[in-house]
Structure 1
């Protein structure tokens, strides 16, 4: 009798690990692609949960969530979209917090085009300037604010090419289809230095702070993996990764 009970306990214990593991579906702002990929690997190792991410424009994610998309956590590129979803009853009360404050950069794949200043932008010697769609992507809106502050919006209007999100804007520049582009600092900067090309890191005074909020959506209310991810994002390991990509906390 003792032996059979012991065997049953061992079998139950062996099955406990997988039973506790869960999967979380996360909608992630495009600017946070590289940091989230780095975070996901550490999170899965530390928690045993699996993170499944979709990357895109925050405005589009809002529409998808309202139409029933199966996301359980939103890592937005702004604070207003999670707040709006919260006011509409689409989130878990008390789960929203700021996980990063984003930076903006004017970037070129050509190492000689930018000298750490907006001189090339003022000179106007380029055919195309890439930005993210300012109606859907906060980084695109920030780019427009910079152009307005510099008094250059009208001068470059005919040269603007809009990407659906900040990833597309970066692709326009990296492939040479645009000589310059406003991109998320995290796309071209890591561990204290520029990863490629040349850039002007735009001073914060030229655009509204890009406060990026995370929130658990209604579908993730009872998912332990969603709660674990939010806790991990608040921790020191995630903070170190986030800051290494040029974000502020």
Structure 2
């Protein structure tokens, strides 16, 4: 009986090994703050499907750019724009890029009664503080300022800004009550196609430049099997379904 169990165990180990890549790898991924939650879901699916491992760090695209230029050992950058990956490729720090999502901007409040689905709360200026990401570091912050400018409201509300270093911190300002409302990424407040809590206004896309979010395979990850596999994975139907469920376009 012992021999049978040993043989069965050997077969199971060999079967499990056969389903994984010949050389599973680990990749360090720099993820724009707006994409942090979707990326956790994607990483779990990716690791299960490929046997590779991903280590995730989230933050502002601008800061990641500076870190990469200073030698930070990231293998892939999932940026909040398309300019930064293109720039890294021009400068020799990235070997390939691809679009993985088109972001959407939303005005959001943790207060379910503050925003009525329109921009009325902004026009009536009936709030205390407005969280906005730093436009120099975060593309969503630049989009928010562009939208306010096109609405003719930038000067009227600028004195009420609470500026976040990235869109993740901006969301926290609004979620914690340090700001009454904030311009955030739709992905931060939507899951499975539904608003998770609070109230919001989906900012019309014609009020800001398209937020095309590109991934860059960085020079450090050029020979990393996990990094290369991730870029391919982002284009699969399963991955795209997850990305859409958080409110992104493709």
TM-score of the pair, normalised by structure 2: 0.92
Describe how 1:130-149 pairs up with structure 2 within 5 A: 130-149=131-150
C-alpha separation in 2, matches of 1:181 and 1:16: 46
Q: CA deviation at 1:19?
A: 6.1
1:35 aligns with 2:56: no
The answer as to whether partners of 2:29 and 2:76 remain within 8 angstroms in 1 is: yes
1:74 aligns with 2:69: no
Change beyond 3 A, Cα 1:87–1:130: same
> Which 4+ runs in 1 deviate beyond 2 A?
13-19
* Equivalent in the alignment of 1:51: 54
* Equivalent in the alignment of 1:239: 240
Q: CA deviation at 1:189?
A: 1.1
Counterpart secondary structure, 1:115: coil
* Equivalent in the alignment of 1:197: 198
* Equivalent in the alignment of 1:151: 152
C-alpha separation in 2, matches of 1:175 and 1:14: 46
Q: Provide Cα deviations, 1:180-215, integer angstroms capped at 9, x if missing partner.
A: 100000000122211100000001000000000001
1:162 aligns with 2:149: no
1:206 aligns with 2:221: no
Q: Provide Cα deviations, 1:114-139, integer angstroms capped at 9, x if missing partner.
A: 11000001111111000110000000
C-alpha separation in 2, matches of 1:35 and 1:43: 12
C-alpha separation in 2, matches of 1:87 and 1:76: 16
**Structure 2 runs not aligned, ≥5 long:** 1-12
C-alpha separation in 1, matches of 2:71 and 2:22: 27
Report the count of equivalent residues.
Answer: 238
C-alpha separation in 1, matches of 2:127 and 2:81: 30
C-alpha separation in 1, matches of 2:213 and 2:94: 16
C-alpha separation in 2, matches of 1:62 and 1:50: 23
Counterpart secondary structure, 1:243: helix
**Structure 1 runs not aligned, ≥5 long:** 1-9
Describe how 1:89-238 pairs up with structure 2 within 5 A: 89-92=92-95, 95-238=96-239
The answer as to whether partners of 2:107 and 2:203 remain within 8 angstroms in 1 is: yes
